[in-house]
């Protein structure tokens, strides 16, 4: 949820946070066959054949956490949260902005459609938002299931789709 940041710091700062994320994604996913795309709002997609795509997603998350702090006042940084209304108009405390990343790994011989990859990525992003470190990896069905972040990177024989979203 990006709304609290915009409510407290303004849309200009919200736009700067999105630009920061775009710059970090391009900085970290810079191989000639990496694709970084802006889906819209605070949603991004990365398509990479790198065996370290999941590791790179973690690098982006760390850099984002570090560099996004410049948008907050010392008072907000000290408290560790912002206060704003939730979507129901109730006052709430929201954590500082972070980045969730869902990763889909697809093997080279797998027959999956773009719709299936999109479905897997949506699932992975939803699970990432609920995980303690905001990262989650799902294999396509042919690769037998899912795993949470923290397990090893792939063996390099797959294409990864990383879906990221800024959140409070």
Residue 36, CB half-sphere, CA atoms under 13 Å: how many? 18
pLDDT at 90: 93
Hey, what are 37's tokens? 């795309």
Which is more confidently placed, 133 or 18? 18
Query: What whole-number distance in Å separates Cα of residue 52 and Cα of residue 135?
Result: 14
User: Of 25, 28, 27, whose CA–CA distance to 36 is shortest?
Assistant: 25
**Residue-number span of the structural domain to which 72 is assigned:** 3-167
The dihedral region occupied by 165, where left means phi > 0, alpha psi between -120 and 50, and beta the remainder, is beta
pLDDT at 147: 45
Distances in whole angstroms, Cα of residue 18 to Cα of each of 5, 29, 89, 91: 11, 16, 25, 25
Q: What average pLDDT does the chain have?
A: 82
pLDDT at 164: 66
Q: What is the DSSP string of 52-111?
A: THHHHHHHHHHHHHHHGGGGS-HHHHHHTEEEEE-TTS-EEEEEPPEEEEEEEEE-TT--
pLDDT one-digit tens code per residue, 79-129: 999 999 988 999 999 989 888 888 888 877 778 888 888 888 888 888 888
Query: What is the count of structural domains for the chain?
Result: 1
pLDDT one-digit tens code per residue, 38-55: 988 888 989 888 888 888
Neighbours of 126 (CB within 10 A): 15
Q: Mean of the pLDDT values across residues 29-39?
A: 90
pLDDT one-digit tens code per residue, 139-158: 655 444 444 443 333 444 44
């Amino acid at each position: 949820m990006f709304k609290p940041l915009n409510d407290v710091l303004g849309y200009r700062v919200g736009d700067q946070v999105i630009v920061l994320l775009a710059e970090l994604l391009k900085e970290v996913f810079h191989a000639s066959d990496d694709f970084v795309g802006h889906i819209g709002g605070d949603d991004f997609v990365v398509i990479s054949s790198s065996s370290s795509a999941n590791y790179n997603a973690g690098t982006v998350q760390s850099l984002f956490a570090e560099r996004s702090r410049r948008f907050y006042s010392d008072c907000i940084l000290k408290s560790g949260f912002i206060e704003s209304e939730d979507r129901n108009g109730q006052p709430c405390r929201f954590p500082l902005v972070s980045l969730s990343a869902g990763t889909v790994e697809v093997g080279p011989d797998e027959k999956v459609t773009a719709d299936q990859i999109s479905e897997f990525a949506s699932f992975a992003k939803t699970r990432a938002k609920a995980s303690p470190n905001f990262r989650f990896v799902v294999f396509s069905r042919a690769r037998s299931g899912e795993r949470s972040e923290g397990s090893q990177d792939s063996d390099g024989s797959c294409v990864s789709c990383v879906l990221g979203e800024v959140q409070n």
